[in-house]
Amino acid sequence: MEFHTAGVIGGGAWGTALAQSAAAAGLAVVLQAREPEVIESIRARRMNDAFLPGVELDSAINVTSDLADLADCDLILAVPPAQHMRATLQAFAPYARPGLPIILCSKGIERGSLKLMTDVLAETIPSATAAVLSGPSFAAEVARGLPSAVTLACADAAMAEALAGALSGPVFRPYYADDLIGAETGGALKNVLAIACGIVEGRELGRSAHAAVITRGYAEIVRVATALGGKAETVAGLCGVGDLVLTCSSPQSRNMSLGLALGQGLSVEQALEGKRSVAEGYESAPAVRELTRKLGVDTPICEATAAVLAGELTVDQAIESLMSRPLKPERE
């Protein structure tokens, strides 16, 4: 199984970073972007000034607005915002040949349907070979060539290994796995939990509270992943614990920075004002809450965060509701 060309759908920060990483791995890359200014700046200056300023892009990256230009690529990295994944895949479907590996790189749960991104792919391009890439990786760091490691999950073990080999480079290390549900669940919930951690930081509640949110938040991820059919050991890896620790520990995270602003007293509208990049946790929080209720899984931190984002609770009310819950065994 050999891969020589990669198509990247989505010219935001993460899509551009993955294009840069794939080029560093030796692949010829076609990056599809919707925004004319992104295409113009990459063609003119080899930079994505709108979403990833200051990073000179590899000459092996060609940019286009037309999804048809990705038809001949050996693999696809799908990187639109999670809530736009369905429409994006529907638009690409006419150009996807049977068996084409499509690696889903967006983290979230679809609002309305409550579907994971692999479910969305199965419904839009059922003939594709689905894979998931997830893990602790800030776009700016990956694009600048700093070391990072991620999970690459595919039900076909041989394909997972082949894709990991194709995308690995001197400083980008994918570990392959076969549990797509576990890989996706970690990524979807950690964005909501990062908002909670940001609120803790913004309210200056201390490092102890920060550690407690990460730890109890991880317990919520495990409960949801296993309820959906994923494996606890998957979310104990890079796509769960790794991503959770990174996203909950740095204001570089769009989700944590949103929570930070809320904790400092800004409204949701004020915190989001002027932001061009999407905070996936904000978009996914209502779906996470609805899904966990449907599953009958207890996720108090995700619940409280969703309530704050929806304007149903103030930050202080959310904190009080969490701290006044009945005591229970830690393993529950």
Q: Which residues are catalytic?
A: 190
Which residues face 151 on adjacent strands? 134, 175
The set of residues, in sequence order, having a beta carbon less than 8 Å from that of 33 and lying 6+ positions away, is 10, 11, 15, 39, 42, 63, 64, 65
For residues 286 and 294, give the distance between their C-alpha atoms in angstroms, rounded to a whole number: 12
Question: Which sign, positive or negative, has the C-alpha torsion 5, 7, 11, 17?
Answer: negative
For residues 143 and 28, give the distance between their C-alpha atoms in angstroms, rounded to a whole number: 16
Q: Which two tokens stand for residue 148?
A: 């990072």
What dihedral angle (degrees, nearest 10) is formed by the CA atoms of 306, 308, 311, 317?
A: 130
For residues 179 and 29, give the distance between their C-alpha atoms in angstroms, rounded to a whole number: 27
Q: Which two tokens stand for residue 275?
A: 């932001």
What are the phi and psi torsion angles at 204 (to 5°)? 55, 50
| Among the listed residues 294, 317, 295, 298, the one whose alpha carbon sits nearest the alpha carbon of residue 307 | 317
Task: For residue 328, give the amino acid letter.
Answer: K
What are the phi and psi torsion angles at 5 (to 5°)? -130, 145
Q: Which two tokens stand for residue 99?
A: 């068996």
| Among the listed residues 203, 196, 141, the one whose alpha carbon sits nearest the alpha carbon of residue 172 | 141
DSSP state of 174: E
Instruction: State which H helix or E strand residue 25 sits in.
Output: none
